[in-house]
Structure 1
Amino acid sequence: MQAAARQGASNWFILCVLFTQCTVSVGKLLPAAACMKRPLQLRIIGFGEAYEQHPGVFLAKDQSQPRMLPVPLSRRLLATLEQADDPRKLTAAELFLDARLLAERDCGNLIESLPWEDSPSGILARRDAYARLVGRGDGLTDGFFSAYHLLLDIAQRKCGVQVEHVLLEETDLFGSLRLGGAVVVARQSDAGLSERVCECTVEEALGIALALDRQVWVEEEVVRAAETPVQFTLQGGKMRLQLRPRTEVDAGSPRPAPDAAEPGAKAVLPWELTSAAELLSMSREDKARSALAAGLQLPRARVATDEALTALLSPLLDEAVRRQLGVRAAAAEGRFGEAASIERAATRRGRMMQEMQRAVDMGNFVSAASIAQDLRVENNRRMDVTLDEGEYDAMLDQDDWCAACP
């Protein structure tokens, strides 16, 4: 009994440290989150009905604000969030029923994005974290108010980090309003303070903010675009929020649709690009459409730079185009010997593409048409034009006579 009491006291002390310790001022963002544009600090004011009577969470500077930022969520996730705001501690069964929602997502959750590579708990820290989140690992299972309190405890014990800031950011590259969650975590070591922005779901970010009683950083542009007049109502003995009926006064600020349609421009698939120049001339949005058309997952708008999208497309580019990119990159960095080496290693098909482009540039269209015929045969011969020769068994390629058949 005494050992259990000491263990419970130790757990309570660690939780108190986790909730209160902060290596920087709460009113100032760590450098890792400085990429946010004009961030505002908002608090979670309450729960209620957001767009089209969907349940949601409402954020504002304080509860006296007439306009708030509604964040729609599913009813199941909203119930889990409300538990984080409830002073009642959960039983182990209740806790792990909610915690499984955090662990059983395919991607995008906080557990996946934490910096496990530097974890003081060793190389199996992530596995142990998942096990504990679903109730199969070791560690304390009582004394938690919600699954988010458990998640924070796992982040500290298994990964050795503390959450310093909670963020909501715009994630879409096409102009529609889509929010994503993120947290700034910090780890103190002999080398000093290191921090990182770890992406998570919106619901995880809000749950962590409730667990820490911390404000949420949201970009001003997002707040101005989506804030809506609200009103308090009493439902089932609980104070709830809902969108205020729109009036003529509100007509000047139309409510944005939560899932605006993306532009319908036709996308060019990565392997259909014929030169590095064509790829580099594409806009960021065109590269994003190409990646989506190829089934790739886009990075968030915060990190979706031109260079990042080019790197994302690179494995699916034609091997000749990818080689041209390598030549350009080496030459731009002054590594001319490496650039020449990459160019000399071009495949027969890559050389034919360059010859055809030179013929077109010189206006020799008869020669270009002749080369295009030979290039068609070479394209048909190759098993996969996105793979470099030698990366797969050459027996998978067709014979020349077979590839030349109409």
Structure 2
Amino acid sequence: MRRPAARLLITALTARALEPTQLWPTTQTCVSCRALGMGDYDGGAAIFMAPAATGGTKVEALPVPVGADAAIAMEKALKGQEYGKVQTLTVAQGLVNRDGGVFDNLPYAMGKSKFAKKDLYDRIRGKDWPGRSLKPQNVFSSLKERFGKKAKVRLEDAERDEDQAPYRGAYGFPPVYEDAQSRMFAGYVSPYSLFLEAIGDMLDCDVTSALLEDACPLDDRTDLAGALRLQPRNGSAPLIVECFADEAVGLALAANVDVLTERSLLEVFSRTARFGLERRTSVAPLKMRLQVVDNLEPRIAEAVEADAPETIKSADEYDALGTQGKLRVLVEAEEFKRRKLRLPRPRVINAAGNDAPVDELLIPLLDEAVRRDLAVEAALKRGDIAGAAALMAGKSKRHAARDRAAQASADGDLAGELRARDDEAVYSAIRADITQDEGSYSRFLDKDEWYERQRRRTNGAYDPADDPLLNPPWKSKS
């Protein structure tokens, strides 16, 4: 087991949307799994995944939690029967009303229309439903568009490519007018099938594989999440879209593709499950469902303890944190929580081969002096001498005072160090936000330097001018 002492947390996380395809794992680290069926786990619905070679009535399966709004949609996907508009749309809204899921993370920038995300939302809500475009309002709109103009104008309109809707339900275009053959539409197997069709129409992509992976890079925590690999139909490089675990399974069922599962997840989360018949109500039919034999309930990891990013005082102190230390500081950062950011997944960090994905999120939250020192180091490493010199020349007064204090300490100049430390304290106190670069926000948000120095004297704070060590009596002017 990769983490023998890991505290388990079954949750669904999502992070950044698109990544290069080389981050997709291989069968060396993953196992191809199939859906066994629905069941209950830890007080909620779950779909159980097991390696494709599994057989028998008692198996070791991975429970993937499914939200209450998605449980019925998942059961429809497993059943494989086509359903009409009402039965599909009533359970489809969970796909688009879920923050941070696949709907939010799809690559809409490569869509055929700048309104692709809006169109996908409307499509899931039933706009321009196939086979149902002969409703009175749709027929009237189509007839008016086709025959409400003079023949010459209609001919000119037909010859313009921009008047052709890029896909069904496109914003600003009339509903599709279907012939009798097109109206013979039975429906979709599940909302995932509708969602999959919309992805193909609007983004010109196909889902070629799905992944269940650990989404948390912290050593003492394991989180279950999903990802999809999209293959653009124009032959360009595939893309990875991060999503919730149940979304990955549902769309994989709709696309009839494999679900790769990390071996470590199977070791950590797999539970013994057996098939059995179940009747939910006295009038409901018997259903084959999975029953879990499990006395080990997942435990939520303890709260992460770490210092705030702005308390890191030097580039050396930052580098000494290591990957895990940086991650813990990042999780505890108030700005990280306020922005509702997500930790980079282990797959992303491993593919990078360094802490760059973590640094990208954490360095902007550091003290501006530490951030500039790190930028100078990075410039020197890549041989950008001019860039490093420009960064050093642009240091703030606060940063310069900190450097003077460090130099005085190294030279054994106690008096100089005390003066520099006092200046640094003053410049820190007057700043509205020490994590922001000097001049990056309105100076009126900062306090005046003279005011802070006078306030400190009035309140009896340390003043180098009154220190007898720095200003002995024999040096005073009489």
TM-score, length-scaled by structure 1: 0.82
How far has the Cα of 1:35 moved from its partner? Answer: 6.8
Amino acid at match of 2:99: D
- Tell me the CA shift for residue 136 of structure 1: 4.5
Deviations 1:164-219 (A, max 9, x none): 11100001122322110101111132xx4310111011111111122123321001
- Structure 2 partner of 1:133: 124
Distance 1:213 1:242 in 2: 25
Determine whether 1:68 maps to 2:61: yes
Q: TM-score, normalised by structure 2?
A: 0.70
Residue by residue over 1:134-171, the C-alpha shift from the partner in whole angstroms, topping out at 9 and shown as x without a partner, is 33465489721211111111111101110111100001
Shift of 1:364: 4.6
SS at match of 1:58: strand
Q: What is the 5 A alignment of 1:385-400? A: 385-400=434-449
In structure 2, how many angstroms separate the alpha carbons of the residues matched to 1:114 and 1:188?
15
What are the within-5 Å matches in structure 2 for residues 252-267 of structure 1?
Answer: 255=296, 257-262=297-302, 264-265=304-305, 267=306
Counterpart contact for 2:311–2:367, Cα < 8 Å: yes
CA RMSD of aligned residues (A): 2.3
Q: What is the correspondence of 1:232-311 to structure 2 with a 5 Å cutoff?
A: 232-236=275-279, 237-244=286-293, 255=296, 257-262=297-302, 264-265=304-305, 267-295=306-334, 296=336, 297=341, 298-304=343-349, 306-311=355-360
Q: 1:59 to 1:403 in 2, by over 3 A?
A: same
Task: Please give the residue correspondences for 1:2-401 in structure 2 after superposition, counting only pairs within 5 Å.
Answer: 31-34=22-25, 38-51=29-42, 53-61=43-51, 62-64=54-56, 66-107=59-100, 109-119=101-111, 121-136=112-127, 139=169, 143-174=187-218, 175-189=220-234, 192-236=235-279, 237-244=286-293, 255=296, 257-262=297-302, 264-265=304-305, 267-295=306-334, 296=336, 297=341, 298-304=343-349, 306-362=355-411, 364-401=413-450
* Contact map agreement 2:229 2:241 (CA 8 A) in 1: yes
Range that drifts further, 75-84 or 203-212: 75-84
- Which residue identity is paired with 2:249? L
| Contact 1:85/1:211 (8 A) holds in 2 | no
Distance change in 2, residues 1:54/1:396 (3 Å): closer
Counterpart-to-counterpart distance in 1, 2:314 and 2:209: 43
Q: 1:203 and 1:308, CA in 2 relative to 1: closer, same or farther beyond 3 A?
A: same
CA displacement at 1:272 relative to structure 2: 1.9
| 1:251 corresponds to | none
Is the partner of 1:186 in helix, strand or coil? Answer: strand
Displacement of 1:33 in angstroms is 0.8
Tell me, in whole angstroms, the C-alpha distance in 1 between the residues paired with 2:412 and 2:88: 72
Of structures 1 and 2, the one scoring higher in RCO (CA 8 A, sep 6+) is 2
CA distance in 2: counterparts of 1:113 and 1:213, whole angstroms: 21
- Number of matched residues? 362
2:435 aligns to what SS in structure 1?
coil
Identity of aligned residues (%): 29
SS state at 1:135 partner: coil
Separation in structure 2 between the aligned mates of residue 399 and residue 351 of structure 1, nearest angstrom:
18
> In structure 2, do the counterparts of structure 1 residues 130 and 54 end up closer, same or farther at CA, with 3 Å as the change threshold?
closer
Could you tell me how far apart the structure 1 residues matched to 2:113 and 2:215 are? 32
Deviation at 1:363, TM superposition (A): 5.1
- Once residues 386 and 27 of structure 2 are traced to their aligned partners in structure 1, the CA distance between those partners, rounded to angstroms, is 40
Give the SS at the match of 1:229. strand
The higher radius of gyration belongs to: 2
